[in-house]
Amino acid sequence: MSARTAAPAVRTANGGSGANSAFNDKGKPMEVRLSNMVAAKAISDAVRTSLGPRGMDKMIQTPKGEVIITNDGATILKSIQALHPAAKMLVDLSAAQDVEAGDGTTSVVVLAGSLLGAAEKMLQKGMHPTVIAESFLKASAKAVEYLEELSTPVDLKDKSALLRAATTSLNSKIVSQYSSTLAPIAVSAVTRLVTPTSSNVDLRDIRIVKKVGGTIEDTELVDGVVLNQNVVNAAGGPTRMEKAKIGIIQFQLSAPKPDMDNTVIINDYRQMDKVIKEGRQYLLNICKKIKKANCNVLLIQKSILRDAVDDTSLTFLKRLGILVVKDVEREEIEFLSKSLVCKPIADIDAFSEDKLGYADLVEETNENDVKVVRITGVRNRGRTVSILAMGSNNLVLEESERSLHDALCVVRCLVKKRALIAGGGAPEIHVSRLLSQYAQTLKGMEAYCFQAYADALEVIPTTLAENAGLNPIAIVTELRNRHALGERNAGINIRKVCIILEKRFFPCAHTLYRRD
């Protein structure tokens, strides 16, 4: 007895078959995809209103009760407690942009939200997610080609071009009115670290020291090193030292303690005197060894085990004429060692003169009612830069630091890739127009995807116009017209409410879009 089975006919939902047929999946996967897109677009919409020079600032209260006022996308999203996995991916995207390029953290999130919106429409038309993803990747590669064609080479010796790029980055910040102060500082800081063969700059070699006092105009690039800490003068020690020999120690100048909590009961006052005397002798011997190495400025690392330095040690150091700065953070040790060309010392027995750094002057000055410790005239100074940031309160100071960091990153991007592209929505319209033309040469679903990608890019000029209170439809239409007439660098001038041939440029770095 034999059984015969007939092969089932495979038919698509629309009655046809083949690669170009509409894709119909079960309902559940589609719901999951749409849920992911909705969550990600919600994050995009949250920061969209802060894009551009006329973008609004966000006031955020952290779980600790601190208030942050900023329009920096990475800072805003870092403070948002996103729970949805897709929303977290956009937060991570902004953080990755902050690390890679430093600026454009709002732009990438807005752009990602727009691309997801375009993908959602195509999914609803029945296109397969893989086809959409592959087409978008091809379109992004094509967009990079168009941007490189649009870019203008820049010479790092051309300080005016670097200043314009840094100023443009600062123009959308709260501290934009101080861009004439902060932009030259950012350019000078990065160019000091650049060598003729440099292809990158490590921003960890640029340290921003914040001090509450004065105004942002008092921010300056210091020729030397600035410390976060103040000189310890509780025992009346020196606050100024010429021909300084600087030592960085990672051990404590205080009486030793046992590893375990022990209680020692002393009934005889003579034994108490002996304990105190031995403790003083122990500290005196350490201080004498430090002085014997000709050290006259001592930077002491902060300790979590016990006091880094006690009053007895400070008294001895004062008598020996040694300037003391305590509570240097562990994270600062590497920067200070590199800047002062000295080696951190972990044990008193290893303390020797060859591990000291040399400087012409270490001085604590009083500027705008704020004490600042400066180290100037460092011998054979390492390739590091210190910036002293001033501000009237913590809110202004934090935003000033974020803005300065963005400007530093913009100049660093020019070191990595020495080219500029126009701003004001010009590159997005240019790429969108060329991708639309290229899509006409394609066939099938890929053509639809390329066209959707091109349309999604227009979210940047549209948002810039919306945030400035302009008519986005009229502005973007006029912008397309100008580009069609050959004005490739035409962009939106938000301040004059018109379309201009863009004169300000953004670094054409590893990110495609630089706008916030």
Kindly list the catalytic residues.
72, 105-106, 406
CA-closest candidate to residue 365, choices 468, 261, 239: 239
Q: At what angle do helices 105-124 and 27-48 cross, to 10 degrees?
A: 150
Mapping DSSP to helix (H, G, I), strand (E, B) and coil, where does residue 237 land? Answer: coil
Q: How far apart are CA 409 and CA 119, in angstroms?
A: 32
Mapping DSSP to helix (H, G, I), strand (E, B) and coil, where does residue 226 land? Answer: strand
Letter string b/e over residues 80-98, b meaning 16 or more CB atoms within 10 A of that residue's CB = bebeeebbbebbebbeebb
Residue 102: CA atoms inside 13 Å, Cβ hemisphere, count?
27
Q: How far apart are CA 87 and CA 300, in angstroms?
A: 44
Q: Distance between terminal CA atoms of the chain?
A: 77
Q: How far apart are CA 274 and CA 280, in angstroms?
A: 10
Mapping DSSP to helix (H, G, I), strand (E, B) and coil, where does residue 37 land? Answer: helix
- Answer yes or no: are the C-beta atoms of 44 and 36 closer than 8 Å: no
Residue 2: CA atoms inside 13 Å, Cβ hemisphere, count?
2
- Answer yes or no: are the C-beta atoms of 455 and 439 closer than 8 Å: no
Stretch (H or E) spanning 153:
strand 152-153
3-state secondary structure 444-477: CHHHHHHHHHHHHHCHHHHHHHHHCCCCHHHHHH
Q: How far apart are CA 11 and CA 29, in angstroms?
A: 20
Q: How far apart are CA 10 and CA 21, in angstroms?
A: 12
Write the Ramachandran bin of 380: left for phi over 0, alpha for psi from -120 to 50, otherwise beta. left
* 134 C-beta neighbours (distance < 10 Å), count: 14
Write the Ramachandran bin of 329: left for phi over 0, alpha for psi from -120 to 50, otherwise beta. beta
- Answer yes or no: are the C-beta atoms of 118 and 452 closer than 8 Å: yes
User: CA angle, corner 325, sides to 323 and 329, nearest 5?
Assistant: 155
Here the tokens at position 2 are 């034999």
* DSSP state letters, 390-432: EESSHHHHHHHHHHHHHHHHHHHHHHHS-EEEE-TTHHHHHHH
